[in-house]
Amino acid sequence: MITKDQKDNLFSLIKSLTKSEKRQFKLYVGRLGVNTDSKFLKLFNLLDKAKSYNEATIIKSGIVKKTQLANVKAHLYKQILISLKLNPSHQNIRSQIREQLDFASILYHKGLYKQSLKILDKAKELAIVNEEKNMAFEIVELEKIIESQYITRSISTRADELAIQAKNLSAQNVIASKLSNLSLQLYSTILKTGYVKNEKESQKVTKYFNDRLPKVNLAKLGFREKLWLYKAHLWYSFLMQDFLNCYKYASKWVDLFHQNPSMINLNPVFYLKGNNYLLESLFFISNKSKFIKKLEHFKTTVNNPKFNKDENVSTLVFLYTNFHSINQHFIDGSFEKGLVLIPQIEKELIQFEDRIDPHHKMIFYYKFASLQFGAGNNKACIKYLDKIISNKSLSMREDLLCFSRVLNLVAHYEAGLDYHLETLLRTTYKFLIKMNDLHEVQKEMIKFIRGLQDIYPHDLKNAFKDLLERLKVYEDHPFERRAFLYLDIISWLESKIENKPVGEIIQNKYLVKKAP
């Protein structure tokens, strides 16, 4: 029986190990001579050399019988995790606090209460300083248990102190929990459906947000609670397409880290995500000068040797650096300059093959397609869009799937591939109807392209002008304008009317907007 690599957890784990991690695992296993000939070590060596997971090959090797395989795999998996836990590169503040808590529990069970309390006091201080308040609460609860059995005479108010500390930590944890729940629900909504599509959805999201947003005193909040508060506001602003407020809360999020620099290496993923949304909101409000400044600052920070990078963090750095390196060319229409990024990123994508999910890969393809379209390379644009449209198993944001198909129609028209248009129109229309995502902009576009075959060449410019007038009314519409975030149809139409490249139209608009 052959299982796909990514579906076998043990195989995926072994393939994720670095050379030093493999060496440490073998040293860890070899500390007891009895292990050197063990089945699980032989299985490790076999899977380490294998290119894919094949159960039949394992059984055929004679290392293990079929009936034993599940147990040997489970044991090997556990031993690898223990070995990784012991690796200094995987030890951080959290693991240090957790280790101290484990030591204190052992001492407590041995009846060595004073020693246990001494360790707990240091661990608690470390937890509070590093905003690990759930762990701090756990430590206080263990301190209370020990104090109830072994009353320290040195501090008569000890019980009261612990009770107050537990109450304060509990209150802060409750606020953080409410804010993180709200943030997660809003994030889930934006991933599944994208921005709000109409007044009904807008009211529903606003009510949901206001009903669940706890009343807080900002001055009394710690780093962690502020972070979740800014996140919740950011997701709400994104859902509502309020990009100025997105910028406001993404800035607060990133500034919070710069005000607490020790938190950057303790929570690198949150730091990276904050920068990603800061750049995204600057992209949406078309502020290129600030965008470039923030992008350069971001690159400087993440490329500093002091910035800790594990596999997960390295993947996010790759994603965000490249997404925004492309985005800068959409702000001012410098598509030609952006084309050089495509082969570089495609090369790196191969290296990150196992670490980037299909959704993010498709976002890259959509961005590549848009760059090619902006540069007038319509056939290259179609090639990348086909990778998205032909992917039947793809779980991707609805709005991106929708605009991939609309852009595909426009690119086919531009490339002069008229013989495909009828079929494409039918499949696109069916797809959009099924998605319940057919907005006025898409309706107008499909109606226009469907009618193109009946228009005489000399009437074409007037038809473009007519469509432009009909679409202009949606440019600042609170729910319809999202169409222009993915595909600047207005600039494309103006390029057809003025007989200029679409990049030149966008560049001129940007210069006018930028002028004092």
Which pLDDT tens digit goes with each residue over 460-513?
A: 677 778 878 888 877 777 766 666 666 677 888 888 888 788 888 887 787 777
Bridge-partner residues for 54, per DSSP?
2
CA–CA gap between residue 327 and residue 329 (Å, rounded)? 5
* Nearest alpha-carbon partner for 432 in 407, 385, 398: 398
* Nearest alpha-carbon partner for 325 in 299, 357, 346, 302: 299
Q: What percent of the chain has a predicted confidence (pLDDT) above 90?
A: 22
Averaged pLDDT score across all residues of the chain: 83
Question: What pLDDT is stored for residue 2 in this prediction?
Answer: 38
420-to-162, 413, 447, 452 alpha-carbon distances in Å: 74, 9, 16, 13
Question: What pLDDT is stored for residue 129 in this prediction?
Answer: 84
Q: What are the structural domain ranges in the chain? A: 5-90, 93-156
Of 251-255, 330-334, 385-389, 508-512, the range with the lowest mean pLDDT is: 508-512
Residue 2's SS3 state is: strand
Taking only the tens place, the pLDDT of each residue in 145-192 is 887 666 555 555 777 788 888 888 888 888 888 988 898 888 888 777
Of 95-99, 138-142, 314-318, 433-437, the range with the lowest mean pLDDT is: 433-437
Residue 261's SS3 state is: coil
Residue 47 pLDDT exceeds 60: yes
Exposed, middle or buried: residue 234 (CB in 10 Å: 0-12, 13-18, 19+)?
A: buried
Write the Ramachandran bin of 169: left for phi over 0, alpha for psi from -120 to 50, otherwise beta: alpha
CA–CA gap between residue 188 and residue 180 (Å, rounded)? 12
**pTM of the entire structure?**
0.72
* Nearest alpha-carbon partner for 83 in 17, 8, 11: 17
